Structure 1
Amino acid sequence: MNSLGSALRQAGRQAGRVAEAVKAYSEALEIFGEFAHWYRTGQVLHNLALVHESVGHEFEAHACWIQAANMFNRAGDTAKADRSRKLAAEQARQPHHLTP
């Protein structure tokens, strides 16, 4: 999913197709959530946060990173959970943070 995530982020930035990337990630979230695959759900949420961040959607990116941290915790990967929380915290320190 990471290579797909990279490709979707790149396509979204280059062609203004962010809505398509968000839709694809949302569909992936439904699938992984249905099968309780928490690690993959965390990966998708992390990649979705990167898409949102790349186009200035800080509020959505922050929410995705927090959710990703929760999913990584459920999967037992505390290192990835910590990384997602760190990214959310770094973004929160920016002056434009959380202005939808």
Structure 2
Amino acid sequence: MTIDEQTVDKIAHLARLELGAQEKQDMIADMNKILGFMDKLNEVDTTGVEPLIYMTDEPNTLREDVIKQEITTAEALSNAPDHDGSHFLVAKVIK
């Protein structure tokens, strides 16, 4: 599989990216390099190799969840640009 300009245009549209002509060409080259590397990985004989689920054989040691108050509400809101005394106030982003 090779990446062409139409594929980059479609991916850029889906990712909401605006690419210039040179950026498109760079993107095509980079994506083709990635796919070439993936083709090389597909050539490796992995018969008899167990899938890797965890990066280590060590057991995952989890701490017990303990509820504790690290900072007060006033301390948390002290650097907030806008608050009502108990909550952060942010600009409305959804209409």
TM-score over 0.5 (shorter chain):
no
Return the TM-score normalized by structure 2.
Answer: 0.24
- Which has the larger Rg? 2
Return the TM-score normalized by structure 1.
Answer: 0.23
Whose helix fraction is larger, Structure 1's or Structure 2's?
A: 1
